[in-house]
Amino acid sequence: MTATLNGYILLSALLFAIGFLGVLVRRNTLVIFMCLELMLVASTLALVAFSRFNGTQDGNTFVFFILTVAAAEVAVGLALIVALFRSRRTVQVDELNALKH
């Protein structure tokens, strides 16, 4: 039995949802970031699946860009977290709540 497109899509959705749950539930900012990356990976999976089953090249090529963006985002985001840590001495997300009314 070969894999169907629906299977890949469902898998991608599941991964995405798990990542989202992680963003909501975890306290450590770094782990939240990792779950964010998980969501990105899920989207790349969906893209490649579509590209394979529709016979186009575009989805594959787009994964390049997603990879690049993810790299840049991680770099800058981690730099931000480090800078935040320097001033606040914490990476727990519920302690980083100074921007409230």
Binders of another protein among residues 11 to 40 (CB under 8 A) are 11-28, 30-35, 37-38
In the range 32-91, which residues lie near another protein by CB under 8 A?
32-35, 37-38, 41, 44-45, 48-49, 51-58, 60-65, 67-76, 78-83, 85-87, 90-91
Residue 10 and residue 42 in contact, taking contact as beta carbons nearer than 8 Å: no
| Cα dihedral 32, 35, 36, 38 in deg (nearest 10) | 170
Size of the site for another protein (CB under 8 A): 85
Shortest CA distance to 48 belongs to which of 38, 67, 61? 61
In angstroms, give the least distance from the CB of 96 to another protein: 7
In angstroms, give the least distance from the CB of 36 to another protein: 10
Residue 96 and residue 90 in contact, taking contact as beta carbons nearer than 8 Å: yes
In angstroms, give the least distance from the CB of 47 to another protein: 9
In angstroms, give the least distance from the CB of 45 to another protein: 6
Residue 47 and residue 38 in contact, taking contact as beta carbons nearer than 8 Å: no
